[in-house]
Structure 1
Amino acid sequence: MKYKIQKAVVIGSGTMGGGIAALLANVGIPVTLLDIVPNQLTKEEEKKSLSLSDRSVKDRIVREGLDRTIKSRPASFFTPDLAALVKTGNLEDDFDAIKSADWIIEVIVENLKIKQQLMARIDAIRSPQTIISTNTSGIPVTLIAEGRSAGFRQHFLGTHFFNPPRYLKLLEIIPTADTLPEVVEFISRFGERKLGKGIVPAKDTPNFIANRIAFGSAPFALDYILENGYTVEEVDAITGPAIGNPKTATFRLIDLVGIDIWDHVGKNLAPAIPHDQLAQKYLGSQKVNSLIETLVARGALGNKSKQGFYKEVRTDDGAKEFWSLNLQTLEYHPSQKVRFESIGKVKDIENVGERIKLLVAAEDRAGELVRTLTYQSLAYSSDRIPEIADTPKAIDDAMRWGFNREAGPFETWDSLGAAETAKAMRAAGFPPAAWVEKMLAAGNQAFYQYDGEIKISVFNPSLGGYVKIERPPSMIMLPRLKAAGKILKKNPSASIFDFGDGVIGVELHTKMNAFDTDMFEMITQGLDLVERDYEGMVIGVDTENFSAGANLFLIAMWAQNGQFDQIELAMHQLQDIFMRMRYFQKPVVVAPCGTALAGGCEMLMSASRVVATSELYSGLVEIAMGLIPAGTGTKEMMRRVLNPAMRTKDVEPLPLLQRLFEQIGMAKVSMSAEEARQMGILSPCDRVVMNRDFLLTEARQEVLNMVNTGYRPPLPEKIYAAGRDALSAMKVGIYMMKEGGYITEYEGQMAAQLAYVLTGGPLSSPTWVDEQYILDLEREVFLSLTGNEKTRERIWTFLQTGKRIRN
């Protein structure tokens, strides 16, 4: 049977249900969000003389659930208007939505009986090809479908998303013995390619994979922390980015999850895993359970109650502070900055394996904690194979994608050295599982086999050997291309690859992918190669973020030394390259991910086409550094926003200029690729890819599609310049902002300079000007601002502290 998902129903409008509905809406799928009806009126409803049978009352729970999702931060929807794809209803009046749904996702209370009752109702009216899944995190998936028809059970499985669904990559797929293989394959592919998820096949075991490892190890960690007198601040300073975890580390993560949820999961897990002695010992820890139960009883539930292991406190001047919990007295106190010599030594090391290796060997309290938690985690993870997974890969993927870690336990183990670490673990009282000892005794010295930086196979304990890691053969992975000798040219700032099929790729690889002369040179050589021998070019990166734009350090140094000719030359070079890209005869596709700011944003707008990841945070933010966009960015925003409207007779330009002025002058950054499209950074033709893993592959395909459809570059276009009167009107607005105390004196000067470029400079009347005219104005203003001491102060402060100042 051929499956499709054009309509979905999500049942349960809580945090997870609302987040899953938003995720589906983000990729264009209409969703009906259903929830139960209330069993009593609110005081407000009573005042309005409403009854439980009134539709507004019956929809209250689901309506409030969607409202919370719309208001959630970080945002669940790519843009607020995508919420229009979510229709709300209740389980009494709107259950017939089930009949036309292609996918039904259950996200209700974790109660087996209630879930089974819901499944019986669904089974009675579902279409034969409809796929049904549960987002349960702890109840056996098989039990939820117990007693249902054969057709239902064949189309039923677990799809365990992680919160928040938009941002966390993990999707655990849990089939039952009855689930059709083609259903598993379809949902897995749909989840990976359409929703952008990392798919981990999981067994129907308690808490599946990621939560089982996390909640199996966490009680030990808390017990050890309490037993050895570590403070909340110490633990979070040690167990955060230094060891490859997010900044939430340990206690901030528990506050984020919710201490009551943490308590609930632990209490449900313990009776479900009587055989798991490593977890049981610490799930029953009196110290840990007493601490958690006390906090829950106090209502200190974490972020949602504004106090948990941290408490949000307002100072006398209204500033927000976070005080930490004293784990001995259970009183809050102002958080103390803690420093460890070992943490300081590793903070600038990029490779997480190297950082952990040094910390495991450290002799201070930080090293002791990292060493103990690492060894216990590795031992516990190995002991769970083959119960929850057949190979280390599933556990590594689940822990990386589910908790935003840089490396999973077995990847970490390999980086530490499998054999020597196993020996150290035994000596420390954390012996590895028996299969690890057998693997090492057989001469296998790692959990993975590698080709350069790429994992190509993983050890399977049941088979006693390595199995190949399957990937699409057409998938572009830069480390794999490097290992295959596909680098055509290279310098310290960029490399040119042969992507195959007549397409080359330019990889940017400076620090933060900031622009410099070597990068410009490599892009120029790439364009020259394409001009002679290739069909088109992709510009991309192999890092989390695309580019922060120009090298601020160089600009600051040149300005400080009075080398304004160097700044002029660099900006001219940048403009020339971007204009060459814009009018290049063959397709140039830019593939951004993460942040693309300032010059990085300008590069996007210079491309023939952009293929971007959905999580694109882009904007022209130069004003924060006391500058304006001068690498074609101001010109390009005028062309994209101002030009189309001004081709219509008698259109007033000021509202459009105001939009541009606010966007550039307030350094606005998109919170998604779709918002970047609304801002004019992406065009209607630019594409958005949900899964970062396929970004370069899709970018290459876009080049080929453009070639096959007869790509032609755009014609040169004049830019509308509104002239002196518009500039005067904008200056009045700037004066009012300054007088109102909204901007500083110098910010007013910068704003006037930006308005000068946006209106076309010294023009007495509106007219259409060549692009080069605006580009010259960009450079003129940029140079004048670099000569100002206050701009240099902004740049140096940012470079030295990472903080922006307003002077």
Structure 2
Amino acid sequence: MVSRIQRVAVLGTGAPALGLAAHLANVGVPVLLLDAERTSTAKEALIRAIEARPSPFFHRSLARLVTPGTLPGDAEALRGCGLVVDATRGTRAGTWELLARLEPLLAPDALLAVDTSWLPLRDLVAGRAPDLHRRLLGMHFVSPLRRTRLVELVPGPGTEAGRLEEATAFARDVLGLTVVVARESPHLIAERVAAHAFVTCLQRMEAHGLAPGDVEGLTALLFSRERGVFQALEDWGAGAFMDAVDRCHAELPEERNGFQLPSPWRAGLPSPEARREADATLTRTLRPLLAEDDAAARLRKLVADEGRAGRFAWDVVSRILSHAARCVGPVARAPQDVDAALTRGFQWDLGPFGMWAALGVTEAAGRMRREGLPVPEAVERRLREDAAPGATPRAPVHRSERVPVLTSPGAEAWDLGDGVLGVGFKTKHNSIDADVVATLGRAVERAEADFRALVLANPGPDFSVGANLMLVTMWASRKRWEDIRALVAAFQAATQRLKYARVPVVAVPCGRTLGGGLELCLGATAVQAAAETQAGLVETEIGLVPGGGGTLNLLWRALQGIPEGVQVDALPYVAKVFQDIARARVSTSAVEAQHLGYFRLTDGVSVRPEHRLEEARARALGLAGAGYRPPVPRAFRLPGAPGIRALEDGLAEGRARGELTAHDALLGARLAAILCGGQGGAGHEVTEEEVLALEQEAFVSLCGEPRSLERMQSLLMHRRVLRN
């Protein structure tokens, strides 16, 4: 069903307002961006958002959906908006006055929302018409919205249930956000629980006599391997953190101790140098835990440690769990809402109650009580019920069988129902090795024999980081050239097998989709990508060129719009593909990947990550039901020797300007030869097989270059891109 809200007005020109306006545009909703005084202010703010890095827009072209204006100059346009959001985040008096100006300008059925985590709605509706009471609510979009994808809805004292449901449906189904309905309380759920957790870390740091580096490492294991407490506070903003702490401390007397920030931290966060100060013994304790991918297992191992690491971890976690439990009822409706707020709003691997379940509900509660921490019995009882057998939520896509159709050490295939076979990887970071390549071939054969379509979807936040670099590096260092050649040939054959399968193949990229991961997508019939997909052919950063058909299929993708029999100069197309591969250009979103040509403009983009697999399945069935036939191979006349010389001239200019190293120029020359079809590419229509042979030869020969090996080793050993 199409939402009644077809256009949204956003008031404000600060970062929260711009983030909201950009997100609305990202999902195709026209936006009226209003400044309270001057249109020029809104225009300037929009330009800032377009030029920002990282940008809140999926692609700069989407900014065309945002119209800057002023209030009341654009009153007529305001009446065409089904939702009006005050995102100024002003004072109580300022917000009350702004709502008074808005009230007579609203459409009769428009929703009015205030983006706030602390202003009491009862004060904002005081003295207003009953009609406004029914349609006003709080909508706190947790910033930065593109990363958090979280909104906390707060019904006002008179908000109609139907209007709350309408706002929920719009935020969830159109904006693709995680929606948590909260009760009015200072800083609602996400900011309140996070502020308490971070203050607890700083308090216990002093109590345990730990250095900043120790605490950063320990809290990275507790919250997110990507960042510890100090990085999380830096991302949140010290000012915003202090504001949340001070307001909770002042307005929540029963929780005051938990928001008592140690005075030294009011001076600011520790420097990057200070964050590296750590106890060597403690660091050795943490190192093996960082390799644990399962967040629950990682937490259990950390808390079970009998040294300082385990004592600190339990000291922090137990206080977080106790406070989160006390939030259920007064602030959050259910434990699941608290977990959703923290895993989305602050990117924790586990929410507080996920941590509790990982440690054992009864065991953790008993230990907390023995140590004098309050544990509400109703919350503990509810957690035990949720952990009971059969309480696990259903997977996004139903697997019709309990055992895989195909399995191997690196990948497996499952029957997803309705004639769709799903294949996914089991390797670390979903990397691609010989076993994965072989299983892909078997999956295509099985899909052609017994299924209507094939979906390629991998578990975890990243689709694939590419080929198994450790294996390639090991073989290159041992000069096992024929093994490398066989691996490349098999990978090329696998991507081509996907491309020409007799059933449609839909790839489901998400997160990092790099190198070989993107090559698989280029070979697929269609793509259903998560909105936040970072895709690119990045092999030049490790001294190589794509080796799984990436050069061929990205170039053919660029040339496919040329009608059969039309003679065109292919060099501009080749140059564009050359630049993107040579510079290892990575998209910042699936939409940008479409504009770069990595995905088709007709490929799907899933705004709600949890729905992308089901949407990919539907896309695959749609293709199968529409009489799918595999494409017919094409050949193109490529630039050949003149094109190679033109691209090499550009490389020489880059060397002269000091922008490229000698090895960069060598990589560029090898890439140019592939994309131009070799020296004779201009004399005939170059086939796919010819381009693949050039790609294979370039990949193997570059593995024998000492500087390429140095680049590979640098990334493996130091996680650093080497420009040698």
TM-score (norm 2): 0.94
1:388 aligns with 2:331: yes
1:36 aligns with 2:16: no
1:526-582 Cα distance to aligned partner (Å, 9 max, x none)? 222221221111000121100122222222233333332222222222222211221
Give the drift of 1:74: 2.3
Match of 1:414 in 2: 357
Conserved in 2, the CA contact under 8 Å of 1:516 and 1:550? yes
- Counterpart-to-counterpart distance in 1, 2:190 and 2:697: 55
For residue 266 of structure 1, what is the amino acid of its counterpart? V
1:629 aligns with 2:546: yes
Change (3 A) 1:227 1:567: closer
1:93-146 Cα distance to aligned partner (Å, 9 max, x none)? 223332000211111234223222222333212222222222111112343334
For structure 2, which runs of at least 5 residues remain unmatched after alignment? Answer: none
Alignment RMSD (CA, Å)? 2.5
1:376 aligns with 2:376: no
For residue 241 of structure 2, what is the amino acid of its counterpart? W
Match of 2:630 in 1: 713
Conserved in 1, the CA contact under 8 Å of 2:121 and 2:157? no
Change (3 A) 1:571 1:184: same
Match of 2:608 in 1: 691
Match of 2:131 in 1: 151
Match of 2:720 in 1: 803
Give the drift of 1:383: 1.7
1:10-64 Cα distance to aligned partner (Å, 9 max, x none)? 0111110110000001111111111222xxxxxxxxxxxxxxxxxxxx3343234
Match of 2:269 in 1: 309
Change (3 A) 1:388 1:655: same
Q: 1:385-784 to 2 correspondence within 5 Å?
A: 385-436=328-379, 439=381, 445=384, 447-451=386-390, 456=392, 476-477=396-397, 481=399, 485=402, 487-642=404-559, 644=561, 651-763=568-680, 765-784=682-701
Give the drift of 1:626: 1.4
Give the drift of 1:516: 2.1
Q: 1:148-187 to 2 correspondence within 5 Å?
A: 148-187=128-167
1:580-614 Cα distance to aligned partner (Å, 9 max, x none)? 22122221101111111111111111111100001
- Counterpart-to-counterpart distance in 2, 1:100 and 1:226: 55
Change (3 A) 1:799 1:576: same
> Which of 764, 789, 803 is the aligned partner of 2:706?
789
Match of 1:11 in 2: 11
Conserved in 2, the CA contact under 8 Å of 1:116 and 1:146? no
Conserved in 2, the CA contact under 8 Å of 1:476 and 1:499? no
Conserved in 1, the CA contact under 8 Å of 2:191 and 2:244? no
Give the drift of 1:188: 2.2
More helix by share: 2
1:336 aligns with 2:277: yes
Change (3 A) 1:108 1:740: closer
- Counterpart-to-counterpart distance in 1, 2:279 and 2:64: 47
- Counterpart-to-counterpart distance in 1, 2:379 and 2:71: 50
Give the drift of 1:434: 3.5
- Counterpart-to-counterpart distance in 2, 1:654 and 1:525: 38
Give the drift of 1:426: 2.5
Indicate the SS of the match to 1:375.
helix
Q: 1:268-307 to 2 correspondence within 5 Å?
A: 268-274=247-253, 277=254, 279-283=255-259, 285=260, 288=262, 290-291=263-264, 295=267
Indicate the SS of the match to 1:724.
helix
Give the drift of 1:764: 6.9
- Counterpart-to-counterpart distance in 2, 1:357 and 1:74: 35
Change (3 A) 1:663 1:764: closer
Give the drift of 1:253: 2.7
Conserved in 1, the CA contact under 8 Å of 2:75 and 2:105? no
1:261 aligns with 2:240: yes
For residue 421 of structure 1, what is the amino acid of its counterpart? A
Change (3 A) 1:692 1:108: same
Change (3 A) 1:153 1:596: same
Q: 1:119-268 to 2 correspondence within 5 Å?
A: 119-240=99-220, 242-245=221-224, 247-268=226-247
For residue 9 of structure 2, what is the amino acid of its counterpart? V
Change (3 A) 1:345 1:620: closer
1:354 aligns with 2:307: no
Match of 2:22 in 1: 22
1:605-647 Cα distance to aligned partner (Å, 9 max, x none)? 1111100001111111111121111211111122122454697
- Counterpart-to-counterpart distance in 2, 1:704 and 1:177: 46
Conserved in 1, the CA contact under 8 Å of 2:18 and 2:46? yes
Change (3 A) 1:62 1:226: farther
Match of 1:302 in 2: none
Greater mean alpha carbon deviation, residues 77-86 or residues 648-657: 648-657
Conserved in 2, the CA contact under 8 Å of 1:135 and 1:158? yes
Change (3 A) 1:654 1:124: same
Indicate the SS of the match to 1:87.
strand
Give the drift of 1:651: 4.6
Conserved in 2, the CA contact under 8 Å of 1:638 and 1:719? no
1:178-198 Cα distance to aligned partner (Å, 9 max, x none)? 333333333323322332211
Give the drift of 1:650: 7.0
TM-score (norm 1): 0.85
1:402-442 Cα distance to aligned partner (Å, 9 max, x none)? 110000111111111122222222233323224356x39xx
Indicate the SS of the match to 2:145.
coil
Conserved in 2, the CA contact under 8 Å of 1:723 and 1:767? no
Give the drift of 1:652: 4.2
- Counterpart-to-counterpart distance in 1, 2:10 and 2:225: 30
Conserved in 1, the CA contact under 8 Å of 2:542 and 2:711? yes
Give the drift of 1:310: 4.1
- Counterpart-to-counterpart distance in 1, 2:479 and 2:246: 67
Match of 2:64 in 1: 84
- Counterpart-to-counterpart distance in 2, 1:175 and 1:192: 16
Give the drift of 1:379: 0.9
Change (3 A) 1:247 1:576: closer
Match of 1:327 in 2: none
For residue 342 of structure 1, what is the amino acid of its counterpart? T
Conserved in 2, the CA contact under 8 Å of 1:673 and 1:688? yes
